[in-house]
Amino acid sequence: MPGRPYNPAHTEAARAAVFDLLEERGYEAISMEAVAERTGISKQALYRRWKHKRALIVDAFAEKADLLPDLPDTGNFERDLRALLRATFALLNGPCGVTNRALVAEALQDPEFLPELRERHLSRRRQQLRTVLERASRRGELKVPPDDTTVDLILGPVWYRLLLQNAPLDTSTADDFTDRLSRLLRGS
Amino acid sequence: MPGRPYNPAHTEAARAAVFDLLEERGYEAISMEAVAERTGISKQALYRRWKHKRALIVDAFAEKADLLPDLPDTGNFERDLRALLRATFALLNGPCGVTNRALVAEALQDPEFLPELRERHLSRRRQQLRTVLERASRRGELKVPPDDTTVDLILGPVWYRLLLQNAPLDTSTADDFTDRLSRLLRGS
Amino acid sequence: MPGRPYNPAHTEAARAAVFDLLEERGYEAISMEAVAERTGISKQALYRRWKHKRALIVDAFAEKADLLPDLPDTGNFERDLRALLRATFALLNGPCGVTNRALVAEALQDPEFLPELRERHLSRRRQQLRTVLERASRRGELKVPPDDTTVDLILGPVWYRLLLQNAPLDTSTADDFTDRLSRLLRGS
Amino acid sequence: MPGRPYNPAHTEAARAAVFDLLEERGYEAISMEAVAERTGISKQALYRRWKHKRALIVDAFAEKADLLPDLPDTGNFERDLRALLRATFALLNGPCGVTNRALVAEALQDPEFLPELRERHLSRRRQQLRTVLERASRRGELKVPPDDTTVDLILGPVWYRLLLQNAPLDTSTADDFTDRLSRLLRGS
DNA sequence: CTGTAAGCGAGACGGTACGTCAAGTCTTTAG
DNA sequence: CTAAAGACTTGACGTACCGTCTCGCTTACAG
């Protein structure tokens, strides 16, 4: 027997509130209490949907973080990679970057969340790059078939800069990365 | 007028307790309260030494995390790089890895801490790699002079794997990284 | 338009559940939530029948609490009183005592319920004693005609012990009360 | 080693707040939350002093409720008893009566509290009466030495009326009780 | 060899949030 | 209509940790 369904507006409002709080007052300001107050949803209703504060945070960010740039096939690996990196960097300079940093912070503190993050989120970014790589491989542009390490070598520096911010993620960096990495991977 | 000096045993005991808590019950279990109770040091004494919980955590981990592998000059870039990566991976598989993950967690939550972490800690790892690179450059082994991006391309994948644990940091990975990266960087 | 009638089994099941909860886990364990879960009746159905939690509790207990000992006329006041007190004490040592304590607890918290309790329940115990007293009075065994205060002087100590449990309600106490009270009331 | 002492003003303020809440908004309005807010004392500070909400309530009421009428020795049992009952009834018609009813309500709901209530509070009222009785006994005014049952027979009716309010606690009732009870107890 | 500045343990304090519970109401679907 | 299932608001519960603040005591250097 069915029972009253969740109010879907609430689910969405809570997710939005998490994001708003992050942007307005920083990661530490995110609290169930604050989400409840700001949205007018009772704590009880929140805890009915999400087991933890973390569960809400993760769920809230999952969507926003999953934004992926479009991937037109340019017919050339270097052009593809450049477009991908430029678009990625651009995204990561906005709220999407904040979100990704927050998600990793969460995962580092909560070991149970890390696998979930990998499966729900990181894997999609890896897959996107993989698609580009395999396309290039089929065209015969790559020395060797792409594998997980190939992906690590490309995405590693991106995450490194995003998380530890030792340098900006700007267009010229994207181009620099593209130049060096495509030389690494291209035949010759 | 001098007053009673800090008890140096306390300083050390607190740092140790932070580390113990991390290993025993995870990052979230680290609390001033717990450190105080476990060491018998009063909260007041802790706060006299460290401004924040974060300050204690950072200080506690700084030492452990700063372990750096030895760097004998083998006279050959690829051998140097292989040795460095192997040693680094080995270290990161132990408590040093746990610590580094915790430090990044801290930095992601506390924007003020990130620059400090970069200067006190990350920069040393970068510098160590830089030394290897410059040595190789002076020997004429590199196509182009090493710069910050060069370092990013090498350390990025290492941190990526350490933090997000999509794959292990084992010897064969070190060798794989070495092979691919040295090909990228070597002249030819 | 009459609609579907209440399921009388439910009404009874809820009353029983209240009583079970009281005996198993104490007064504080009685909750609508618990009654609903234990009986499989929905909260809504409970609230349709009883306005409040209190209304249910009161209704549930009313029956059980109304047990009154039998009152054979022995032809002698002291014997009548002794029989009455012994029987009453015996009853109050069982679930009937628990119930009466719960009813008073309820009455103390809900001023609206107190008059109802007095009229539906307490008055019957008073009336029973009154009958004994008046019988004795007609026999000429009492110094003065019995009135409300007479009843208070006899039942007061009984309730006092039942509620505040400073001493047990056992047979020897019943006899002790009988001896002293009959001396008070008998012409001497 | 001692540590910072409780702020005694807080202890007193919290007790007062409990009583204020009772008078202003009734028994159900008493909550730790409300006491904390009204006094400016943090919840933590309250819970440091009192294990439960109940513990606070009990403690708060114990003092106020412990108001006991003065007991001048008039040299005569009947006069002493009359004075005691009159004074007691007068007290119980004020806030002290409300409080005592609330305390019993609490005790009926929380079996663990009942013994505490008896020891901290009820026993003092019993002791006061006992003093009067023993004084009279030493003067040779009583048929038999007073015991616990004697106290029950006198206080029982008082509590009965206080709790179940079947009749008022006024001066003429006090006198009525005095007349009948002193006849019961006096020699002859 | 003594005063005084500071360390120290114990632990209270105001905050803020946590996650839980029950009360009583409302909504959906089924019969 | 009744009924179950279960979401909903409200409001309190008791706990945890933060960083600060006494309290009374104990060092240990400086005069």
CATH number of the domain where residue A21 is located: 1.10.10.60
Domain identity same for C45 and C132: no
Domain identity same for A178 and A162: yes
Identify whether B55 is part of a domain: no
Domain identity same for B110 and B151: yes
Identify whether A128 is part of a domain: yes
Determine the residue of chain B that is closest to A27 in CA distance: B109
DSSP C133-160: HHHHHHTT-BSS---HHHHHHHHHHHHH
Of A26, A159, A176, which has the smallest distance from its Cβ to B156's Cβ? A159
Where residue A109 falls (left for φ over 0; alpha for ψ -120 to 50; beta otherwise) is alpha
The C-alpha of B9 sits at a distance from chain A's nearest C-alpha, in angstroms, of 29
The protein residue nearest F9 (Cα–C1') is A42
**Amino acid letter for position D150:** T
Q: Is residue D187's pLDDT more than 70?
A: no
Q: Is residue C92's pLDDT more than 50?
A: yes
Asked if C178 and C154 count as a contact pair (C-beta separation under 8 A), the reply is: no
Domain identity same for A174 and A93: yes
Q: Is residue B63's pLDDT more than 90?
A: no
Identify whether D55 is part of a domain: no
Whole-angstrom Cα distance, residue D117 to residue D54? 11
Domain identity same for C40 and C78: no
The pLDDT confidence band at residue C127, using thresholds 50, 70 and 90, is: very high
Identify whether C59 is part of a domain: no
Domain identity same for B73 and B165: yes
Structural domains of chain C, count: 2
Backbone angles phi, psi at C143, to 5 degrees: -60, -45
Domain identity same for A85 and A167: yes
Domain identity same for D22 and D77: no
Identify whether C1 is part of a domain: no
Percent of chain D's residues with pLDDT above 90: 58
Instruction: Tell whether B23 is within 8 A of chain A (Cβ).
Output: no
Q: Residue D65: its pLDDT value, please?
A: 58
Say which residue, B152 or D185, is predicted with more confidence: B152
- Classify D142 as helix, strand or coil: strand
Q: Residue C1: its pLDDT value, please?
A: 40
Question: What's the CA B41/C1' F28 distance, rounded, in angstroms?
Answer: 20
Residues 28-67 of D with CB under 7 A from strand E: 40-45, 48-49
pLDDT in tens, chain A (188 residues): 678 899 999 999 999 999 999 888 888 899 999 999 999 999 999 999 999 898 998 888 877 766 777 778 999 999 999 999 999 999 899 878 888 888 898 888 878 788 888 887 888 899 999 999 999 999 999 988 999 999 999 999 999 999 998 789 999 999 999 999 998 888 55
Contacts of D149 in chain C (CB under 8 A): 167, 173, 176-177, 180
Whole-angstrom Cα distance, residue B149 to residue B152? 5
Say which residue, C165 or B73, is predicted with more confidence: B73
> pLDDT by residue (tens digit) across B74-94?
999 999 999 999 999 998 998
Residues 39-68 of B with CB under 7 A from strand E: 40-45, 48-49
Identify whether A2 is part of a domain: no
Average pLDDT value over all residues in chain C: 87
Lowest mean pLDDT among B35-39, C139-143, C164-168: C164-168
Identify whether D3 is part of a domain: no
The protein residue nearest E26 (Cα–C1') is A4
The pLDDT confidence band at residue D45, using thresholds 50, 70 and 90, is: very high
Domain identity same for C68 and C133: yes
Instruction: Tell whether D101 is within 8 A of chain C (Cβ).
Output: yes
Instruction: Tell whether C112 is within 8 A of chain D (Cβ).
Output: no
* Structure-token pair, residue C19: 């009583």
DSSP B32-91: HHHHHHHHT--HHHHHHH-SSHHHHHHHHHHHHHT--------S-HHHHHHHHHHHHHHH
- Classify D66 as helix, strand or coil: coil
The protein residue nearest F8 (Cα–C1') is A45
Q: Is residue C3's pLDDT more than 70?
A: no
Domain identity same for A77 and A154: yes
Domain identity same for A56 and A84: no
Whole-angstrom Cα distance, residue B32 to residue A122? 34
Taking each helix axis from N to C end, the angle separating D53-65 and D8-25, rounded to the nearest 10 degrees, works out to 90
Contacts of A183 in chain B (CB under 8 A): 184
Lowest mean pLDDT among C55-69, D6-20, D90-104, D139-153: C55-69
Asked if C152 and D160 count as a contact pair (C-beta separation under 8 A), the reply is: yes
77-96 in A: which are within 8 Å (CB) of B?
A: none
Q: Residue B147: its pLDDT value, please?
A: 94
The C-alpha of B117 sits at a distance from chain A's nearest C-alpha, in angstroms, of 9
The C-alpha of D114 sits at a distance from chain C's nearest C-alpha, in angstroms, of 7
How many other CB atoms sit within 10 Å of the CB of residue D66? 13
Q: Say what the alpha-carbon torsion angle B18, B23, B28, B31 is, to the nearest 10 degrees.
A: -20
Q: Residue C2: its pLDDT value, please?
A: 47
The pLDDT confidence band at residue B133, using thresholds 50, 70 and 90, is: very high
Domain identity same for C16 and C103: no
Whole-angstrom Cα distance, residue B164 to residue B181? 21
Instruction: Tell whether C107 is within 8 A of chain D (Cβ).
Output: yes
The C-alpha of B42 sits at a distance from chain A's nearest C-alpha, in angstroms, of 26
Q: Residue B106: its pLDDT value, please?
A: 83
Q: Is residue D179's pLDDT more than 80?
A: yes
Q: What is the mean pLDDT of residues B99-118?
A: 85
Residue C119, domain extent: 64-185
Identify whether D105 is part of a domain: yes
